[in-house]
Structures are given as C-alpha cells and as structure tokens.
Structure 1
C-alpha cells in the first residue's frame, strides 16, 4: 500500500506540473492512477480534494491575472450541473464517460501539428457561450472529479494569455471543487481512504505549483499552446486505453489472432458470443458467426438434413464476405468432426 501511495504522489507531482504549464489536465491524467488504489466511484472525491488545494495555490500566485468576466458567467452556469453530475455518480459508472472524453481529447491531435501563432487581440466570446461551457464543465466535473483539458481549447481560443488561463481556470474550478466535496460527503463518498489519497494528491499539487512558478515565465505563448494540445492528446490516449480495457473486461470482450501461411485467423468474443475473423490473401476477409438451426434458410436445411442423421451434435455458421454469404455445417458423430459447405 505504501508503494502505491508513493506512486500516486510521484504521478500527481508530474501531472500537476504539466497541468500548470499546459493550462490543466492533471485530473484526467490521474484518473487511471487513482483507480489503482481506490474504487472507481470514490476516485472523483479524492481527485477533488487534491484539485481544490491545487486551485487555491494557483489563485494565490496568479490572482492579478484572473479574468473576472469569464468567472462571472462560467461559475453560476456550472453550479446546478455539478450537483447533477455528482448525483448521477451514485448510480452510473463513470468509465463509459471517460471513454467518450478520451476520444474527444484525441480529436485534438491535428492541433498538435498545426503551427501555433503568438496570441492576438481576440474579441471576447458571447456570454451564452460562457454559460454553455460552464454548464458542461460543471456536469462533467461532478461526474468524473475532473474537467482539466476538456475545455482547455475554449480558453485558448478565447484570447487569454498563459498566465490568465492558469489563473482564470483556478478561479472557475475552486468553487466547483468545494461544492463537489460537500456533495460527495452527503452521498457518503468521503471515506478515510479517500481523505488520505486526496491529501497526498494535494501535497503533490503544492509541490508542482512551486516548481512550475519558476518554469512558466520561460515558456512562449506558442509553446504553452503546443504543450496544452500535447497534454490533451496524451490524456485522451490514457483515458481511452484504460476505459476501453475496463469496458472490455466487464463485457467479456476479447480479441485473439494468429497468423497463417495465407493470412490470419482470429476470434472476437463479446459476452457469450464469438465471431470468427479470417483473412486470406486470395479470398479477402470473412466473418463467421454461429447461428441457430432455425435461422438457416429452408433450402440449406434440406441439403443439411441428410448430413446430420445420427449426429451427436451439430453447429451451423454463417459466413459473410464482400458480396457473398454462405453457410458451414459442423457435424460431431462418434467423436469425429466433419465440415460441410452449404
């Protein structure tokens, strides 16, 4: 347990350090790490403790850079949706939302390779956009415990400088984190283990804030944006991989493949079903699925009737390929298997 907590501390220092230099994202990176030491439903609560401490430290250091116009419209719109997200957390597993958010973050990959220009005097966006972003951020934050880089693109396009992004994000999020902690407590999610892990994450966040305060002045605005997009893509890859693995395990999804002289042969398992995948260089792809005898067309049943007399067991597969569909019959008789094309 001690080694796991040390891993959490080290990962949190690295995550919050990158978060400060990229405008956010520590929470999303830490989600899979915290799931190693806490049940999935308790991870958002522990993460909120650490994020609250992190936001407070950033507000202290960057207070003069806060863009209060953004805060004034963002926070009121987010508050009711924080409650909705925290309430839903007691009924649904956030792993499915993490999978969707991971794919959303991966969609920023093209931005990583686009030339990043220095900031221009962009006009502030409309008030209704601030309200919509605040509501969405509140809901996702309540459900996952983190918003991080999901809305970082909004801050980057709103014309904020690097110092303003760090300060304004902290001001927007600290109120949300405090409200979430109250809600998590009411819903019984603040256990002793959660408080311990949350305190470790908070200590790591303070260390990272002290470290990045000395690094941030040396970053150009263009480099700041590039680091931000890189962190988005990295977070998306981690979230998608971990959430995908959890979903696959939960639903019995598995893929096996072996090479052959003329292609490959594999199986795709889903719950109690299995789909066979075959590829041959001379025939292309084929997908084979086990079907019931009743699903076999009548003309094929007539052909198969004479082949299954006195059989111990039979199995029928539907074989699909591009522009073609056929059937295969497997007959077990006296310990001997025979295969017939229908």
Structure 2
C-alpha cells in the first residue's frame, strides 16, 4: 500500500510540475500511475487532479481566449474521445499496456522527427479536424495530447496570452468530455477517487516546484530529461508487464 501511495504521489508531483511549467509530460504521468494501478484504471485516478489543475489554470487565464479556434477543434476532439473510450472498453489490461507502450514510443519518435522537419498538416484548412480527433483519442488512451495540441495552436499564429488561454480552456473542455467516458466505463469509482485524494498534497507541491524551478532549467536540458523518462516508461510497459 505504501509503495502504491509513493507512485501516486510521484505521478501527482509530475502533473503539478507539468501544468505550471513546461507541459507535455502526460506520457510520463500515466506509466507512473500504472505502477500503482496497472491497466486503464490509472486513467480514472489521473483525471480528477487534471481537472483540478485545469480549473486553477482557467481561473488564471480568463482573457484573450480564441473561441473561434476552440469551436473548430472541440467537436472533433469529442469524436476522438469517443473512439478512445470505445477502445478502452474493449481491450484487456495486458493488451492495453502493450498498445500504450507502442503508442508512447510512436509519439516519442514523432516528437524527435518534428525537431528537424515541419508538419505542414497543421496549417491545412482541415487541420482542426485532424488535430482535434488525434488529441481526443491520444488524450484518452495515453494521456499524451499536450505536444499535439501545442503544435496545432502554435500554427494558429496567436499572441502569447491568447495561446496560453486557449490551450488551458481546450484541455479543460477535453478533460470534461473524458470524464463522461471514464464514468461510463466504471474507471472512476470510489477506489480511484480515494487514490486521487492521496496525491493532492504532492500535486500542489509539484505546482510550486514547477513555478519556481522552471526558469532555471534550459529548454534543451528539459527536452533530454523528459524524453529519457518517456523512453523508460514505455520500455517498462512493453517489457516488464506483470502477468
């Protein structure tokens, strides 16, 4: 029990740090939580404290929201979430962990490739349908929509304040949609809510660390650290699954 609490607290610590600093650490958070809750149930533990940090973020960023971009993005996000929810409801935990490990490695490969190659699809007139659907699906399955959402919003050529505000409102909206899907699958229940409550102190500690420490770490250092953590997490899911 104590070890499970440690992994839950670590996942919450990373969540708080991610939300209030660099973002995009969802691919690390889910495998950490799965050390305490193997299988899709980990998503049910994560979502409540994601919603908590989203609410704090939207209270902070209430101005300059690009509602036009959100109106194009969110309907397709709902389609992706519905598809991801269906997949979650049809796979067994072992298959889910294998699929998740492969998906995480694929997303990591995409991020490495994008360092050296642009992705023109995010400037296409139908970019919102592609980005929204993929963010919804990957957000449900791998908790890893952050980098994809960032790529799409950056291509909309908004000023910095509009980018930040639109991003946090997009994630609050998508996570509320995910809430309905996870509730329908029974992945959010009394047990997962108790586990979520365990991590709240670590969540707020992570927010404070993210706010204080972010400016002292170079973007290149962060990129190496994050990608190393993602690789180790995916390898654990693929090669060290419990029977």
TM range (shorter): 0.7 to 0.9
Out of 186, 189, 192, the position equivalent to 2:190 is 192
Alpha carbons of 1:169 and 1:94: their partners in 2 closer, same or farther (altered >3 Å)?
farther
- How is 1:110-259 mapped onto 2 (pairs within 5 angstroms)? 125-201=123-199, 204-209=202-207, 212=210, 227=219, 234-249=225-240
State the TM-score, normalized to the length of structure 2: 0.77
Superposed CA offset, 1:287-319 (max 9, x none): xxxxxxxxxxxxxxxxxxxxxxxxxxxxxxxxx
Superposed CA offset, 1:83-113 (max 9, x none): 2201211222154234233343244347769
In the alignment, what sits opposite 1:38?
A: 37
In the alignment, what sits opposite 2:74?
A: 75
Alpha carbons of 1:75 and 1:39: their partners in 2 closer, same or farther (altered >3 Å)?
same
Alpha carbons of 1:233 and 1:46: their partners in 2 closer, same or farther (altered >3 Å)?
farther
Once residues 146 and 251 of structure 1 are traced to their aligned partners in structure 2, the CA distance between those partners, rounded to angstroms, is: 23
Q: Is the 8 A contact 2:97 2:237 kept in 1?
A: no
Q: Relative contact order: is structure 1 or structure 2 higher (C-alpha 8 Å, sep ≥ 6)? A: 2
Structure 1, gaps ≥5 residues long: 115-123, 253-342
Once residues 180 and 139 of structure 1 are traced to their aligned partners in structure 2, the CA distance between those partners, rounded to angstroms, is: 10
Shift of 1:52: 1.1
Structure 2, gaps ≥5 residues long: none
Shift of 1:82: 0.5
Q: Is the 8 A contact 1:14 1:208 kept in 2?
A: yes
Q: Greater strand share, 1 or 2? A: 1
Once residues 180 and 235 of structure 1 are traced to their aligned partners in structure 2, the CA distance between those partners, rounded to angstroms, is: 25
2:8 paired with 1:17: no
Once residues 148 and 108 of structure 2 are traced to their aligned partners in structure 1, the CA distance between those partners, rounded to angstroms, is: 7
Q: Greater helix share, 1 or 2? A: 2
For these two proteins, the number of residue pairs brought into alignment is 235
Alpha carbons of 1:4 and 1:96: their partners in 2 closer, same or farther (altered >3 Å)?
same
State the TM-score, normalized to the length of structure 1: 0.57
Q: Root-mean-square deviation (CA), in Å?
A: 3.5
